Amino acid sequence: MNKYTKIGLTALAGSLVAGSVSAAEMSASGSASMTFTGGDEKANHGNGWTMGDSVTFSASGDVNDIGITLSIELDGDAQSKKTNSGSSYSSTTGSNVVDSHSIALDFGDAGTLTFAGHGGDGFMSANDDVMPTASEEPWDVVSGADGLVINGFSGDNMFTYKYSHDSGVNLTVGYINAGTVTAVSYTDYGITYTGIDGLTLGYGEGDVESTAGTKTAENTMFAKYTIGSATVGMQISENNKESASDVETTGVGISYQVNDDLAISYGSNTVETVGSTDQEASAIGVSYTMGSLGLGLSMHQVDNIGHTATNDREGYQLTVAFAF
């Protein structure tokens, strides 16, 4: 490369940087939490205490004044970094790592396209359980109870497109190209409707084949309705497997906003598989907020975990969270 080409590229890069700095809006937010988990005598929770921490840096600005807004978001997590493992995430300890990070292009009325290097969600993973709750889902907290959750597939380097219409119709499409995390490219899509005051309806589906020859077709549908301070909901999800028994889950929930600060909830989740004992989970949740301080408590009972009769467990979780 001759020096004139180098000078041209350097000047171009400099002008782009200068333009982005002058047009961008930057912000930072953070959160920290302390959580105690107990009551599950069959699980090893160590001393029961865990800490959560996150600082999110965001920047956004117009792209050359053509009606497109570019946003970049980085989530710094000094405690742990979540890594992809099939259709779920597992934590590995580390320090000074970037957790979720993404780039979003907002096309205005044409929707938003997001590319997530880590922490992306399609419709199925973002809506695995949308039942109203003041704290945690019924299948959470108790060890082993979340193994049958129908949640599509999510992983690194994921594209997500979202479109919202004034009528209340909202469309989401998720895509991950085939590679090390999935043998076959993954696509899911979903639609929600919020055009009637207080009512939310949703449906989504996706085919998962993270390992070649193990294709499963997943779908979910849900409805929620808010009247006054109460919200009720029901969700039915299916996992239709080519080489194993199908799985169906049914979740219901009700929450009540006692006042601006206090909320309570009750929820249940049942997992059915032909020829197996149903896994049945239930939970009571309470949350209370005081400005930037939040308190959450949930108590759980899960019977026949993993369709194993008499594998019954209970547990509770208390969280103190701070936002800044």
Q: Report DSSP letters for 184-203, one per residue.
A: S-EEEEEEEE--STTEEEEE
pLDDT of residue 254: 99
Angle of CA points 119, 125, 126, to nearest 5°: 80
pLDDT of residue 194: 98
Q: Is the predicted pLDDT of residue 93 greater than 50, yes or no?
A: no
Percentage of the residues of the chain whose pLDDT score is greater than 70: 86
Residues 189-245: tens digit of each pLDDT? 999 999 999 999 999 999 999 888 888 999 999 999 999 999 999 999 999 988 788
pLDDT of residue 19: 46
CA dihedral 110, 111, 116, 119 (to 10 degrees): -170
Domains and CATH numbers, the chain: 26-323 (2.40.160.10)
Residues 30-41: tens digit of each pLDDT? 999 999 999 887
pLDDT of residue 65: 75
Query: Which is nearest to 203 in space by CA: 171, 227, 167, 240?
Result: 171
pTM, entire model: 0.85
